[in-house]
Amino acid sequence: MAYQVTLIPGDGIGPEIAEASRRVVEATGVPIAWEVVEAGEAVIPRYGTPLPDYVLESVRRNKVAWKGPLTTPVGKGFRSVNVTLRQELDLYANVRPARTLPGIKTRYENVDLIVVRENTEDLYAGIEHRVGRDAAESIKIITREASLRIVRHAFELARRQGRRKVTAVHKANIMKLTDGLFLECARQVAGEYPDIQFEDMIVDAMCMKLVQAPENYDVLVMPNLYGDIVSDLCAGLVGGLGVAPGANIGLEAAVFEPVHGSAPKHAGQNRVNPLAMLLSGVLMLQHLGETAAAQRITRAVEAVLREQKHLTYDLGGSASTLEMARAIIDRLD
């Protein structure tokens, strides 16, 4: 029986990196029946929205989706499709690994950490309004239910992967009620996992310590807005958003995606590296229980990066997106 997976190619470079990455996943031999659905800017003229109902229906039906980047206008226009997907499907846990890859030049070595971000509330709930002509107000929502489940997700992930420590990130010294509640919940859940070290860290201090000594950290868990910012910082430790995969996990569905944007200026040129999309596919395979296939792709990616012969321009080479994908396929063991 083939796995039923929704594939959302996305905007900009999305269709190119999605096609290249799909070929690699298919080359592992894992049986997947793709249900390809369109979302984003291209469907607005037809449906009046970047997220038609059939996209949500497909993900709900198949339980698993793999999607390319979708454009979000800055300061105007339609609301983020990514945020809407997470809220509509209650994908409460955003999981973003940051791991050093061979051949990727960075200022750091031996980084291997995971940011676990609450995905449904905080300032990202988008509850905001104008206050007269010259002011605007946004409401920060933190609930006990969401805080408990995201921290528990982080500890379960740490235990499952044999990781040593969970760090709760907050600003409870200033936001004593909202972040104070999150920290209270984190400490409560930590008491259920005596085998895993726990600490908490104020978010600004966390950012400083991550750029000083990222090897000291393992699993970081935090509210939504901090998670968005800190996870990008962590991507910068290992080479940038172009190599940063992400997963959005809920009780009823999971959506896997690259972290980077749609890069419309590069669309149609078949020149951007597919690693963030492909590595999010690795997370998808792990979620499906296909760990051997996930490990095969990881080893093949690392082999291509070490060889430095089939890299796209953004990784310092001259290969096309598909040429890099073919090189990865050739190195599947």
Q: What is the mean pLDDT of residues 151-155?
A: 98
Is the pLDDT score of 78 beyond 80?
Answer: no
Which residues touch 76 (CB under 8 Å, ≥6 apart)?
Answer: none
Structural domain ending residue among the three candidates 214, 237, 260: 237
Domain identity same for 46 and 132: no
pLDDT digits (tens, 9 = 90+) for 154-201: 999 999 999 999 999 999 999 999 999 999 999 999 999 999 999 999
pLDDT at 329 over 80: yes
Q: For 228-273, what is each residue's pLDDT tens digit?
A: 999 999 999 999 999 999 999 999 999 999 999 898 899 889 899 9
Q: Taking residues 273-290, what's their average pLDDT?
A: 97
Co-location of 194 and 260 in the same domain: no
pLDDT band of residue 81 (cuts 50, 70, 90) is confident
- Whether 228 is a known active-site residue: answer yes
- Whether residue 115 is found in the same domain as residue 219: yes
**Quick one: what percent of the chain has pLDDT higher than 90?**
87
List beta partners, residue 6: 35, 65
Checking if the pLDDT of 76 tops 60, the result is: no
Per annotation, catalytic residue among 67, 171, 179, 226: 171
Q: Are residues 145 and 227 in the same domain?
A: yes
Instruction: Give this prediction's pTM.
Output: 0.92
Model confidence at 75: pLDDT above 60: no
What pLDDT does 203 receive? 98
Q: Which domain-ending residue is among 189, 205, 237?
A: 237
Catalytic residue among 92, 124, 217, 226: 124
Is residue 134 scored above 80 in pLDDT?
A: yes
> Quick one: 140 and 198 in the same domain?
yes
User: Do 2 and 94 belong together in one domain?
Assistant: yes
User: Catalytic annotation on 67?
Assistant: no
% residues pLDDT > 70 (the chain): 98
- DSSP letters, 254-270, are EEEEESS---GGGTTS-
Q: Does residue 74 register a pLDDT over 70? A: no
pLDDT in tens, 301-313: 999 999 999 999 9
Given 122, 179, 200, 228, which residue is catalytic? Answer: 228
Between vectors from CA 143 to CA 141 and to CA 149, what angle results, nearest 5°? 130
Calculate helix-pair angle for 291-307, 321-330, nearest 10 degrees: 120
Are the beta carbons of 96 and 246 closer than 8 angstroms? yes
Nearest to 78 by CA among 50, 106, 120: 50
126 & 232 share domain: yes
Kindly tell me if the per-residue pLDDT of 330 is higher than 80: yes
Domain boundary among 237, 257, 284: 237
- Verify that 225 and 301 share a domain, yes or no: no
Q: Are 120 and 48 in a shared domain?
A: no
If asked whether residues 223 and 283 sit together in one domain, one would say no
Average of per-residue pLDDT values in the chain = 94
Q: Supply the range of the domain harboring residue 259.
A: 1-98+243-333
| Residue 105 known to be catalytic | no
Asked if residue 248 and residue 228 are part of one domain, the reply reads: no
200 catalytic? Reply is: no
What pLDDT was estimated at residue 111? 96
Q: What is the mean pLDDT of residues 39-45?
A: 87
Domain count, the chain: 2
CATH of the domain at 21: 3.40.718.10
User: What is the spatial distance between Cα 138 and Cα 224, in angstroms, rounded to a whole number?
Assistant: 14
**What six digits make up the tokens of 307?**
């060889």
Task: Kindly indicate the confidence band of residue 77, based on its pLDDT and cuts at 50, 70 and 90.
Answer: low
Q: Tell me, yes or no, whether 188 and 253 share the same domain.
A: no
For 247, list phi and psi in degrees, rounded to 5: -135, 140
Q: How confident is the model at residue 41 (pLDDT cuts 50, 70, 90)?
A: confident
